[in-house]
């Protein structure tokens, strides 16, 4: 069982819908990540949160809006997506030595949300 | 620019034999390397990592070897089991400030009984 839990597992949404992806971890990790993975491709980083603050935005379009309500939760709000945004969205977490210092610790991934935009 | 390369998209091995998955990198600033395993419809699962101060790290059936001069790492699985059939990603990052994890394109391993 993964220690990073993502809901929902599957999501189908229209281009005018607003939906949210949710991620939860209870490992005490203070760094959390959103990745996007297309078929037969490696995961691509979207956002990084460190101590509940957005540290990295990999030039992601504004139709994706991340939120970190507390140290255990990470959300990704979706609005006006395009069919090409259909992908597996992965949440991950890792240890963080201190604010902004990322340790040599592995990322632990959830099982992802399979998103289809119609 | 693909900084982490897995040149073999697939590998087939018989059960009980050794599986060797290879990975090459180009960025000399990388100093932490990881292997992940991914089953369909699941997220990547962390397998094993190695820091650049080492050349070998072993965990059960899994051993990772790092050759810094060649900028090459490999994952050995001995003995291979059918349950090892999955896509394996190698990943790397540097250690200055935030360095994002750079993934290879993956190698699909099939272990047949």
Interface size between A and B, measured as CB pairs under 8 A: 56
Nearest C-alpha of chain A: how many angstroms from B86? 12
Rounded Cα gap, residues A6 and A27, in angstroms: 14
Residue A102 has pLDDT above 80, yes or no: no
Res A67 pLDDT > 90:
yes
Q: Tell me what pLDDT residue B29 has.
A: 87
Between the alpha carbon of residue B67 and those of residues A48, A73, B36, B93, the distances in Å are: 30, 39, 19, 16
pLDDT for A68 beyond 60: yes
End-to-end CA distance of chain B: 38
Q: What is the model's pLDDT at position A5? A: 96
A50 beta partners: A31, A53
Band of residue A2 on the pLDDT scale cut at 50, 70, 90: low
Q: What is the mean pLDDT of residues B50-73?
A: 96
**Cα–Cα distance, A31 to B93 (Å, whole number):** 16
pLDDT of A101 strictly over 80:
no
Q: Residue B68 has what pLDDT?
A: 95
Residue B31 tokens read as 């100093």
Question: What pLDDT, on the 0 to 100 scale, is given for residue A99?
Answer: 57
pLDDT in tens, B64-99: 999 999 999 999 999 999 999 999 999 998 866 667
CA torsion through residues A11, A112, B5, B3, sign: positive
Question: Chain B residue closest to A47 (CA)?
Answer: B100
Distance from CA of B50 to the nearest CA of A (A): 9
Name which of A3-7, B13-17, B21-25, B27-31 the model is least confident about. Answer: B27-31
Determine, for residues B34 and A109 on separate chains, whether the beta-carbon distance falls below 8 Å.
no
Predicted confidence at residue B97, as pLDDT, reads 62
Residue B100: the pLDDT is 81
pLDDT surpasses 90 at A6 = yes
Say yes or no for a CB contact (<8 Å) between B105 and A41: yes
Residue A100 to residue B89, Cβ atoms within 8 A: no
Indicate whether A98 pLDDT > 70: no
% of chain A residues with pLDDT over 90:
74
């Amino acid at each position: 069982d993964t220690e990073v839990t993502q809901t929902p597992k599957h999501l189908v949404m229209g281009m005018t819908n607003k939906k949210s992806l949710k991620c939860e971890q209870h490992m005490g990790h203070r760094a959390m990540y959103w990745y996007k993975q297309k078929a037969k491709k490696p995961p691509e980083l979207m956002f990084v949160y460190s101590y509940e603050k957005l540290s990295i935005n990999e030039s992601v379009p504004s139709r994706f809006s991340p939120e970190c309500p507390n140290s255990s939760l990470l959300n990704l709000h979706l609005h006006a997506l395009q069919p090409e945004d259909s992908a597996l969205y992965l949440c991950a977490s890792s240890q963080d030595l201190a604010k902004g210092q990322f340790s040599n610790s592995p990322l632990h991934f959830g099982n992802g949300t399979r998103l289809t935009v119609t | 620019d693909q900084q982490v390369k897995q040149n073999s998209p697939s590998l087939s091995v018989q059960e009980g034999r050794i599986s060797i998955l290879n990975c090459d990198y180009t960025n000399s600033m990388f100093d932490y390397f990881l292997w992940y395993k991914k089953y369909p419809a699941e997220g990547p699962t962390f397998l094993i990592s190695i820091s650049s101060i080492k050349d070998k790290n072993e965990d059960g059936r899994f051993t990772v070897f790092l050759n810094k001069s060649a900028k090459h790492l490999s994952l050995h699985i001995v003995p291979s089991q059918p349950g090892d059939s999955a896509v394996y990603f190698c990943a790397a990052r540097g250690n200055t400030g935030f360095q994002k994890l750079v993934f290879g394109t993956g190698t699909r391993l099939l272990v047949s009984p």
